[in-house]
Each structure stands twice: as structure tokens, then as C-alpha cells.
Structure 1
Amino acid sequence: MQVHEFARPYAAEGNGETGVLFLHGFTATPWTLRDWAARTAEAGYRVSVPRLPGHGTSWRELEVTDGRDWYAAAQRAFLDLRAECPTVFVAGLSMGGALALRLAEHHADDVAGLILVNPALTGNPELALIPWAKHLIRTVDSIGSSIRRPGVVEHSYPRTPLKAAHAMMLLWGDVRARLDLVHCPILLLRSEHDPVVPAASSEIVRRQVSSEEIVEVVLADSAHVAPLDNDADAIVAHTLDFLTTHTRR
């Protein structure tokens, strides 16, 4: 199936031996993270932004993928980056944040730190109907482009397949069950007004991981897709500060 031009993976070598893996969210593509990753590369870091299976093509392809596919792609990209760099950080937006946490659970000694933007580990109450609704309704309207900045679009799917949404919810449960295995430093960036992922999701991270250092930053002027929103510069600045601090350590 043809991959849209904006959905193609992105990578840059940077100038150093530290790598950063960027993982996009559900129904989204590498496009949402490209500027964030490019500006990180300009600061000297090797970056990788893979396209998760089922994304950037058609919602019909997404419908037949699940958390095993998404995590396998994330892990493959992580191991490829780890083979090139002795130090690797993982950054994730929304479901990409859940995948980043899972990498830190499974590769605890190899993930130097996590940078999480509105990480998704739970959803709004109406999602509780999805396990049953998926048998009656194939798709619902898009959940994408939750962005305050005028004229900016996420290029997400126009429809959201409920079968895949349920697969994402199962992924959340798998990640939540092992959060105590995460002990690396975490930079947690959370939009103050996020209509997609509730603040309870970030609270789960803070409460259940074993990390001694968790730095939380509240983004006051962005919706869910914050790397494309009004706080994009702040996200980059906090990211580079975090990377500098923990690479030196």
C-alpha cells in the first residue's frame, strides 16, 4: 500500500554519539515529530523517526494492525539506533509515549532517558464502550489534528477504526502493568488542556514508574499534538536541556 509523502520515516545523523528515537501517535505519522526531530539533530544528535505499521497509508491498513506490530517496529528502530550510538534516548507523543515506556521496560539498561509528550496510558470514559462497539461500528470520525495553532494540520486519518483503537487500549494495559520496571530519568511534557488524553494518564506515569527523576512541564498553549502547536519551541528547548544534562552524566 502506498505511503503518503508526508508519512515517510525521517532520520538524521547529527554530529555526536547520542541518539534520540522519536515515536509518533495513533493514526498519525512521522510528520508530527519531524520538526522536533530535525531541530534535535541540528543540535548534534542522531535522530530516527520511524513510521509505525498501519500509519500513513489508509485506515483500512491500520485496522489490521495492533500493539504487537507497533511495538515491534519501535523496538527494531531502537535497536538499529542503539547499534550506532552508545547512548539512546526515546521520545514519544501520545501512543508513542506508551511505546517509549514499553521500550524502557524491556530495555531498562539501554534507555538513557524518556521524553514524553502527552503520553497515552488511559483514555476518556467513553472509550470504555469500544470493546463492544467495535463489533457494531467499524469506524468513527478522526481523533486527529488536536492543534490550537491556526492553519496547522496533523495529516491524520479521516476515520478511526475501532478495532485498532481497542488494540491501542490493550497496549496501554500491557504498559501500565510493568511501569515499575522503568527507572530512567523522564521529561514529562503535558498540555494543560488536552481534549484527547486525560491528565490522569500523566499521573499514572508519575505514580507508577521507579524513576528517581521526573521533570514535569505543563504546556499552557497547546492541545494534544503539542509538537506542532504553540508550545513547539518550548518542547525543543526542554528536550535539548534534558539531553545535555543526562548525556553529560
Structure 2
Amino acid sequence: MAGIAGAEEFAHDGSTDIGVLVSHGFTGSPFSMRPWADRLVAEGFSVRLPLLPGHGTRWQDMNRTTWPQWYGAVESSFLELRERCSSVFVMGLSMGGALCLRLAQVHGDAVAGLVLVNPSVMSLRREIKLVHALSRVVPSSKPISDDIAKPGVTEHAYPRTPLRALASLTKLWATVRADLPKVTQPLLLLHSAVDNVVEPENSKVVLAGVSSADVTEVVLENSRHVATIDHDADLIFDRSVAFARRVGAGDRV
């Protein structure tokens, strides 16, 4: 199956001091994360940006995958970086943030720190409660893509939301929420003041649930959900680089 142009996975071997695993979100692809990955490369870091199974092709393909497969892809890239680098950070957007939280829960101190942008761990939408039953009879629903304030910008996500995959996502959310206290690593969480996809309660749940002592919260005033390609993209990139350098230097002392 031919993929979406620009949605390919990306890998770069740079520094052996700092590596960064970058994860895209639900129905998205590396397209929305590549500018962030490119900035990390420019800073000299080793970077892995995987294409999650079922993404970057057709929404029908995503309905054939489940969250353990998405997690397996980020874990494989994370372990590659662990073989190469002294400190490995995990950075994710939306569902990618949930996958990064799961990496931190499973791998403990092997994760040097987390940078999360509009992480998703739950939803207040009433239809989510019905998604498991609905997904058995309806394959897809309206899209949740392109919530971007910057004019003329698209993330090239799927034009439909695959419901069987969404039902699996809710299981990831529940797993991650249950284990939030296991997250003890330094955390930088950036969330948009206006987000039409992931409610602000998500960031509140994460911040209230983790056990991290080193926590920084940043509000993105000028971006919506896909903030990595929105007005505040450079702010995200700058803060994530400074965070990785600060925490990474401490790890190597």
C-alpha cells in the first residue's frame, strides 16, 4: 500500500550522549513531527521517529491494528537509542504522549525525561463510552485532524476516524492512567490554550497523577491541537532542546 507523502519514518544517528524518541499521534504520521525531529537533529541529537502501524496509508489499515502494536513500534525505536546513547528522552504529541508515558512506566530510569504536547489519556465525549459497541457495526466516523490555528497548514492525517482503532486507544488510555504514579522522570508538558481534539482535563490528569519531582507546565497560547506545526512550534522545539540538555547534563554528572 502506497504511503502518504512525507509520512515516512525517520532515523538519524548523531550524538551518543543524547537520543530522542519522537512519537506522532492517532491517525497522524511523522509528517506532523518531522520539523521537531529536524530541529533535534540540528542540535546534534540522535533521533528516531517511527511510523506507527496502521498509520500513514489508509484509515482502513488502522482498524487492523491495536495499541500494543503502536507501543511496540515506539519501544523498538527507544531500545535502539538505548543501545547507542547515554540518555534517551521520549517526546510525543497527543496519543504519542500516552505512548511516551507508557515507555516511562515500563522502562523506568532508562527514560531520562519526557516532553509531552497535548497528551491524550482520556476523553469526556459521550460517544467514547459507546465506541466499543459502535465499532462492531460502524467502521469509521468523522475525522479529528487538522486542528491547527495557522492558516494553510495540514497534518495530512486520515480523513476518517477508524473506530476499532479508537476502541483500542481507550484501552491504552486506561492502562496509562492506572500507572501514572509510576512516572517519576523529569517532565515537560506543553498544552494548547484552545484544543478542539484533546480536552484540557487530559493535561490536568497527567500532572496530578505522575510522581515526578521535576515538572514544568507550559501553556501554548497561539496553537491548537497539532501544535508541533502551528504558531508555537518553535517554542516547543526550544523548550524541548533546553530541557534535554539540562536533564541530560545532570544524568552524565
Paired with 2:124 and 2:6, the residues of 1 have a C-alpha distance of 29
Paired with 1:195 and 1:5, the residues of 2 have a C-alpha distance of 26
Please state how far the C-alpha of 1:108 moved relative to its aligned partner. 0.3
Deviation digits for residues 147-203 of structure 1, max 9, x if unmatched? 110111001011111111110011100111111111000000000111111111111
Please state how far the C-alpha of 1:14 moved relative to its aligned partner. 2.8
Structure 1 unmatched ranges of 5 or more: none
**Which segment is superposed worse, 27-36 or 126-135?**
126-135
Deviation digits for residues 197-219 of structure 1, max 9, x if unmatched? 11111111111111001100000
Indicate conservation of the 8 Å contact 2:16/2:84, yes or no. no
Structure 1 match to 2:44: 44
Structure 2 unmatched ranges of 5 or more: none
- The answer to whether residue 124 in structure 2 is matched with residue 124 in structure 1 is yes
Q: Which amino acid aligns with 1:69?
A: Q
Indicate conservation of the 8 Å contact 2:145/2:158, yes or no. yes
Structure 2 match to 1:231: 232
Q: How does 1:193-212 map to 2 (within 5 A)?
A: 193-212=194-213
Please state how far the C-alpha of 1:110 moved relative to its aligned partner. 0.2
Give the RMSD, CA atoms, in angstroms: 1.0
Structure 2 match to 1:222: 223
Q: Which amino acid aligns with 1:90?
A: V
Structure 2 match to 1:69: 69
Deviation digits for residues 208-247 of structure 1, max 9, x if unmatched? 1110011000000101000000100110111111111101
Number of residue-to-residue matches in the alignment: 249
Q: Which amino acid aligns with 2:228?
A: P
Structure 2 match to 1:149: 150
Q: Secondary structure at the match of 1:244?
A: helix
Q: Which amino acid aligns with 2:54?
A: G
Q: How does 1:9-88 map to 2 (within 5 A)?
A: 9-88=9-88
Paired with 2:2 and 2:186, the residues of 1 have a C-alpha distance of 38
Q: Secondary structure at the match of 1:41?
A: helix
Indicate conservation of the 8 Å contact 1:146/1:196, yes or no. yes
Paired with 1:20 and 1:76, the residues of 2 have a C-alpha distance of 13
Q: Which amino acid aligns with 1:47?
A: V
Deviation digits for residues 118-175 of structure 1, max 9, x if unmatched? 0000113232221222133211111111111011100101111111111001110011
**Which segment is superposed worse, 129-138 or 169-178?**
129-138
Paired with 2:69 and 2:83, the residues of 1 have a C-alpha distance of 21
Paired with 1:12 and 1:74, the residues of 2 have a C-alpha distance of 15
Paired with 2:136 and 2:50, the residues of 1 have a C-alpha distance of 31
Q: How does 1:147-186 map to 2 (within 5 A)?
A: 147-186=148-187
Q: Secondary structure at the match of 2:211?
A: coil
Structure 2 match to 1:105: 105
Q: Secondary structure at the match of 2:109?
A: coil
Deviation digits for residues 30-49 of structure 1, max 9, x if unmatched? 11110011011101111110
User: TM-score, structure 1 length as denominator?
Assistant: 0.97
